Structure 1
Amino acid sequence: MKEVLLCTVALFAQTASVSAADLVAKALPMVTPIYDWSGCYTGINGGFGSAHQCWHVVNVGDLVVAPPLVMGCHSSTGGTACGQIGYRWQIANSVFGLEAEGNWADFKGSNANLAFAGVQDESRIDGFGLFTGQVGYTKNNVLFCTKGGAAGVRDKYRVFDLATRLTIDNGSETLWGSAVGAGLELGCAPNWSVGIEYDHVFMGRRDMDFFCPTALVGVSAGGRAGTARISQDVDIGLVRANYSRSDAVAKY
């Protein structure tokens, strides 16, 4: 009888222990990873861009053209690729950051010159840089971000004879303007994220001097052929991948 009583007590104690463990497990909340966007990151990007330009001639040699004559407008389009580096701070669901982006580009286009018959105007962007601040909102591993700041663009220009393709005059410059943009980024693995981005660059209007590579009537080789007033805006679409150097990208 004593043995039966001991077995009953032991079985009851074991059952109570298992039930208590089940209750504790059920009481504990499920722990899910929380994506943290804070920290330094570097990345690569690639995409497409289009620069819309309008030209007006304001000088031919030393002769002032008033009012300026319309030379025409065109869009320079093409591909772009390179990378970015930045740093972000996350406070609750808000994200703030700074980023520098530098890209090789091949945006090229031309139009028939409306002021001078038989002449073609051509422009090319072979590089640009964006230096921007960021403000974003995150929901775990999804980040929507807006950006704004300064932009630099490297432009090359050429005026050539349409029949022979020979260059009449050309010029180049690095100019500065402003940029705004927005993007969506997804944290897809520890330390890695991918996203898409759109940027618009405002280059404004400026006067650009053109020079003759060879001697022309009244102008020696290397002399100033004239001045064109050029306005320009640039649109850029990119696909990006970033690697974060933070040790706390995924928190539990």
Structure 2
Amino acid sequence: MKNYLKTYVASAVALLAVSAAPATAADMAMKAPPMVAQLPSWTGFYIGINGGGAWGTTGTSASDVGPDGFFAFANIPAVVAGATRSFDNSGGLAGGQIGYLFQSGKGIFGIEASFDWANFNGSTSNGPTVYPVTPGSTFAWNLHASSDFLATFTGRVGYDMGSWYPYVTGGAAVAHLKYSANFIDTFYPTNVTNSFSKDAVGWVVGLGAEWRVADHWMLRGEYLYMDFDSFGGNGTIACTPGVGACGANTTTFNYSAKFRENVGRLALSYRF
């Protein structure tokens, strides 16, 4: 009897184990992995505002292209050197941008156009300097450079790091540049300013990082370096009318100015 009871209990336990195994496996198969929240894609058009500052250098040069007679020949190198300078400029900018981003995997690609009001200024003065061969008289140069508009047309490439992405950028830049050279002479009483301006084209490279601050809002910090084409032209130097007596003596100078700028700015954009 005892042996029979033991056999019965063992059989029942075995049967329960076999029947429970499939149910446990089925329960395990039906358990889904936990859901992971997916960040939205960066793809889309955007528009926004930006602002920041700029600092750079203006390199100037000049040459006396004649006719001879206004300056003593030996004085010309000193006068030319006085107008050949490199000086700093700086200022602020504010404006807006519009662009498009496209995300493929972890890569983010974009194109953008930005337009900014700018207020870059720089100047330098040298003199009065005594003429080498006419020591009883002096000359001086006052040089000034400025810009009041900046536009950039760039592409950028970045890497998705979740709520932000770093990028590099490059393209073309256009700026309205101004340069003036004021010459003062006490030998022939002279106070003449020659001024030039141009919508100059240059190239731009830089880097930055974009943050997703909300579903559709992006905040960016970036640094840009720009190098613009030289510009300038010819200008006449002559006596101040009605002062002194130098007759009809005049000379023509050829001027050139080149701007190189660094820009740091923040941009807030709304992505559609």
Structure 2 residue 155 is matched with structure 1 residue 129: no
Given candidates 175, 178, 193, the residue that maps to 2:200 is 175
Contact conserved, 1:142 with 1:185, CA < 8 A, in 2? yes
> Do residues 226 (structure 1) and 253 (structure 2) align?
yes
Counterparts of 1:113 and 1:173, CA distance in 2: 25
Question: Against the structure 1 CA distance between its residues 114 and 83, is the aligned structure 2 distance closer, same or farther, given a 3 Å change threshold?
Answer: farther
Which residue pairs with 2:220 in the alignment?
195
Range with greater deviation from structure 2 (92-101 or 110-119): 110-119
Contact 2:142 2:182 in 1 (8 A): yes
% of aligned pairs identical? 28
The equivalent residue for 2:265 is: 238
Matches within 5 A, 1:14-163: 27-59=32-64, 69=81, 71=83, 72-113=85-126, 117-160=139-182
What's the RMSD between the two structures over aligned residues?
A: 3.4
Cα offset for 1:191? 0.6
C-alpha distance after superposition, 1:37-68 (max 9, x if no partner): 111111110000013111111245656x7896
More helix by share: 2
Q: Distance in 2 between matches of 1:216 and 1:232?
A: 31
Bigger Rg, which one:
2
Q: Which runs of 5+ in 1 are unaligned?
A: 1-15, 246-252
Letter in 2 for 1:69: A
Deviations 1:16-54 (A, max 9, x none): 9xxx7x996x73423313131111111110000013111
Q: More strand by proportion, 1 or 2?
A: 1
Distance 1:215 1:32, change over 3 A: farther
Q: What letter is aligned with 2:256?
A: R
**Structure 1 moving runs of 4+ over 3 Å:** 59-63, 65-70, 113-117, 214-218
Deviation, 1:202, is 1.3
Q: What runs of 5+ residues in structure 2 fail to find an aligned partner?
A: 1-22, 69-75, 130-138, 185-190
CA distance in structure 1 between the partners assigned to 2:149 and 2:65 by the alignment: 29
Give the paired residue count.
Answer: 218
- Separation of aligned partners in 2, 1:35 and 1:56: 53
